[in-house]
Amino acid sequence: MPCRDYEPVTPSVVYRDDPKTKKLLEEKQAKLDLVTRLLCFVLSNAEAPFWAVLSKAKKTAAHGNAYEELCQWWQQHELEDKRERKRLKQAALAKLTPEEKEALGLK
């Protein structure tokens, strides 16, 4: 399941039918999904020393409370990933007949 941002950019009614705005929003959503997927990859593979180093990083004007925000974002993203996996599993299982479920040992 490819990671993505679970809150897609939705245009207001005013811009929804404007082709240029629609294209721009689609490009921005694609970029946001890419950055989300890359960040998810890094954090999924991060080990404890990585988090320890980040927790000791100095706050800067450029980054603000980045460590706290990253931790909050990661917890929320993991929860959203879990919900999405559950939703996909339920949707897939709903397509199976009782016989198929039994053959797969799911009943």
Could you state, in chain order, the average pLDDT of each consecutive group of 10 residues for the chain (107 residues)? 65 68 85 93 92 90 91 94 93 94 88
Both tokens of 74, joined, read: 């990661």
Q: Which of 34, 26, 45 is nearest to 5 (CA)?
A: 34
Residue 92: the pLDDT is 94
Question: What residue ranges do the domains of the chain occupy?
Answer: 13-103
CA-to-CA distance for 49 and 23, rounded, in angstroms? Answer: 41
Please, are residues 50 and 22 in contact by the beta-carbon 8 Å criterion?
no
pLDDT at 17 (0 to 100): 73
pLDDT of the residue at 97: 94
Q: What is the pLDDT of residue 106?
A: 87
Compute the distance between CA of residue 65 and CA of residue 63 in angstroms, rounded to an integer: 6
